[in-house]
Structure 1
């Protein structure tokens, strides 16, 4: 991994942590989860903006397939990797550590790390990031409004629809990742045999 990308990841982890601590300072009576959701909403919004800026051709957002990642795509992936590292550590300090959440973070960190190390899946990963994060602000907004004392709002239906969409997109990209890993392993095995 290039030094500038590694530096971006380190600066990102520090920045996400600083935003969290500032949110805790500004809203001391609100929960730990509230502050973490504020950071999550900021990440989701930033991820969508940055991912949108990396699309080379909106007629085919994932084109060219399996091409070398552009510098903007690498920066977008590095920003999201830094967020996932921050969020995993932050979740370890919450009231209860959840195994499924920890697995989600570890898989995401390994995925982003592999994308950055190989520099070969930029458009697909950035498109997945864009699609995944488009729903996050609605989900976090619903929880933030609840914590601020608002009753379940009309956003709940939108948030539930987005959550379902998020699960379907996640399942699709998991399937694509499994196919890519299988292809790489098959290719590597056939290369060693020849």
Structure 2
């Protein structure tokens, strides 16, 4: 791995931690998770911007396949590795450790780290970053709204549906295609394994999201009927 990438990972970890501490000070009355989600939202927005800026050819966003990563792609991946390490530590400190989320973090860290080590597959990896982070701001918005007192409101339901739609399009339409081209190209085995693992985690989350949306819609319908008959 290039020295500047390693330094950027370390700097990124310090930067995201500093933002979290600032958020804790500004939102002192809010929970640990609230401050962490503020930082996570900022990272998701930055990751999408950096990933978009590092695409070499928008006519084929994942091209060239299995090629040497550009300096901009390496920087983008290093920033996210720093964030993922920070966020994984936060999950343990907040005692909010879930198996699926931990697997997602480990798969992402190992996959991106291996890409930095091999200095290859930059096109595929920034595309994966773009796909996975596209829905993240809306994921965090759902939880932020709940803590702000907007649970079970139309605004919260709209955030739920928007998150579900973007997640589905990104991870269950774009994701399988990206996984296919990554597995088909001449990429290192470890990167192929991590691409497949990330898609399997996304499929599991898609199943949970479908159940969540169906539950909320059915609950809203039931409440509406009760109000109409009362």
Fold match by TM threshold 0.5:
yes
Q: 1:165 aligns with which of 165, 169, 177?
A: 169
- 2:106 equivalent in structure 1: 106
Contact between 1:139 and 1:162, CA under 8 Å: does it hold in 2? no
Match of 2:52 in 1: 52
- Find the aligned partners of 1:137 and 1:157 in 2 and give their Cα distance: 13
CA distance in 1: counterparts of 2:188 and 2:9, whole angstroms: 26
Secondary structure class of the residue paired with 2:120: coil
Number of the residue aligned with 2:65: 65
Structure 1 residue 157, shift from structure 2 partner: 1.3
CA RMSD of aligned residues (A): 2.0
Structure 1: tracts of 5 or more residues without a match: 186-194
**TM-score computed with the length of structure 1 as normaliser:** 0.86
Equivalent residues of 2:131, 2:175 under 8 A apart: no
Q: 4+ runs of 1 displaced by more than 4 Å?
A: 169-181
Aligned to 1:36: 36
Q: Which consecutive residues of structure 2, in runs of 5 or more, have no partner in the other structure? A: 190-230
Rg (Cα) greater in structure? 2
CA distance in 1, matches of 2:99, 2:36: 18
Q: Say which SS state the counterpart of residue 36 (structure 1) adopts.
A: helix
Work out the CA distance in 2 between the residues paired with 1:99 and 1:173: 24
**TM-score, scaled to structure 2:** 0.74
Q: Match for residue 188 of structure 1?
A: none
